[in-house]
Amino acid sequence: MKYVLMFVETDEYARELAGLGEAEREAAYEKVGQWFAAHAAKITHHAHLQPAHTATTVRLGQDGAEITDGPFVEGKEVVSGYVEVEVADLDEAIAMTRSWPACPIVELRPASS
């Protein structure tokens, strides 16, 4: 079964990461790299998203498209990246997610092929 794990960054997490020294930040990134390596056989695709302020939102309606700069919603939580995984079931996807070492929130959704 295919799932998308969306990594959600909070303002607090971003501040904590920005406040780390270079060595601490590198150690945090190393943990993320280790997580990817540990789960490489199940990861079919992944990407880190650019910051929310780089987003463009297109709202489609009967009067055409309304295009605005910025994310769909202004919020304190922002999806900063995602991983697409192929696993047996939701329990396996949750087990993978429990060891995620970075953003404090991960939303999981089943994905159609």
Q: What is the mean pLDDT of residues 109-113?
A: 90
The pTM of the full predicted model, rounded to 2 decimals, is 0.85
In this structure, whether the domain defined by 2-110 belongs to CATH 3.40.50.1010 is answered with no
CA distance linking residue 66 with residue 40, whole number of Å = 39
Q: What is the mean pLDDT of residues 96-109?
A: 95
Decide if pLDDT at 75 tops 80. Answer: no
Contacts by 86-94 with C-beta closer than 8 Å and gap 24+?
86/1, 86/2, 86/42, 86/44, 87/1, 87/3, 87/42, 88/1, 89/1, 90/1, 90/3, 92/42, 93/1, 93/3, 93/5
Task: Give domain limits for the chain.
Answer: 2-110
